[in-house]
Amino acid sequence: MNAQRLNLRGDLLPPSFYTSEDVVQLAQALIGKVIVSLVDGKYCSGRIVETEAYRAPEDKACHAWNNRRTHRTATMFEAGGVAYIYLCYGIHHLFNVVTGPKDKAHAVLVRAIEPLDNIPLMLQRRNMRSLHPNLTNGPGKWTQALGITTALNGIKLYTPDAPIQLRDDGYTVAKDELLTGPRIGVDYAGEWAKVPWRFRLAQNAYIGP
């Protein structure tokens, strides 16, 4: 699909956006950015409203904790700007933005988006009849709505014809609109379960509680 002809909203984030070693700051910077899906020749998009930062080697909640390199975690060690997508509970495809330089296993989990373009397509993929927050208000829900699966693990997010793209349409987030708290579902990680690395856009209908 030709991304130019589609007149996608905003500007593609350049590779330099992803190079910072401060994954916690990048998790905040990604709030408000647009994620575009061009899967199966169809276009849809949404605005990122909830993220979490994961940072190997020290972060015990990170799959690459202690710099564990396996077939699954290999993608996290690549240079920033690629997708790390893995299967959770055998059902859900969870999407992360890999950040930082090569061999630093840092990533931002996108937990929720606000739907923007082609909502009928998202409803169809989710087997829903009408717009409701549970269309895209969870990490396994929004990926289903956008047609994202592990088949796209490792793709570059910054090329103009990529099936998943991150874009900046000028939307800005004020400091007092950014909610901060501990990450979800990582109780096994001891002290690392408590670090405030989860970020949400305040007052948005698609964020989790």
Partner DNA sequence: CGTCCGATGAACT
Partner DNA sequence: GTTCATCGGACGT
Residues that bind DNA (CB under 7 A): 52, 54, 61-63, 68, 70-73, 76, 84, 86-92, 94, 96, 107, 109, 126, 134, 138-141, 183-186, 188
Of the two residues 17 and 192, which places its CB atom closer to DNA in the complex?
Answer: 192
Minimal distance in Å, beta carbon 43 to DNA? Answer: 22
Per DSSP, the residues of 68-92 read ---TTGGGGGSPSSBEEEEEETTTE
Of the two residues 118 and 149, which places its CB atom closer to DNA in the complex?
Answer: 149
The rounded distance, in Å, linking the Cα atoms of 103 and 80 is 10
Minimal distance in Å, beta carbon 159 to DNA? Answer: 22
The rounded distance, in Å, linking the Cα atoms of 76 and 53 is 12
**CA neighbor of 138 nearest in space, from 90, 189, 93:** 93
In 28-174, at which residue ranges do the beta strands (DSSP E only) sit? 34-37, 44-55, 83-88, 92-99, 106-115, 164-168
Cα four-point dihedral sign 180, 185, 191, 192: negative
Q: Decide: 199 and 29 in contact? Cβ < 8 Å.
A: no
Beta bridge partners of 45: 36
Q: Token pair for residue 186?
A: 């990582």
| H or E element, residue 198 | strand 198-201
The rounded distance, in Å, linking the Cα atoms of 136 and 152 is 19
Of the two residues 12 and 121, which places its CB atom closer to DNA in the complex?
Answer: 121
Of the two residues 12 and 56, which places its CB atom closer to DNA in the complex?
Answer: 56
Of the two residues 141 and 200, which places its CB atom closer to DNA in the complex?
Answer: 141
Of the two residues 9 and 92, which places its CB atom closer to DNA in the complex?
Answer: 92
Minimal distance in Å, beta carbon 177 to DNA? Answer: 23
Minimal distance in Å, beta carbon 98 to DNA? Answer: 10
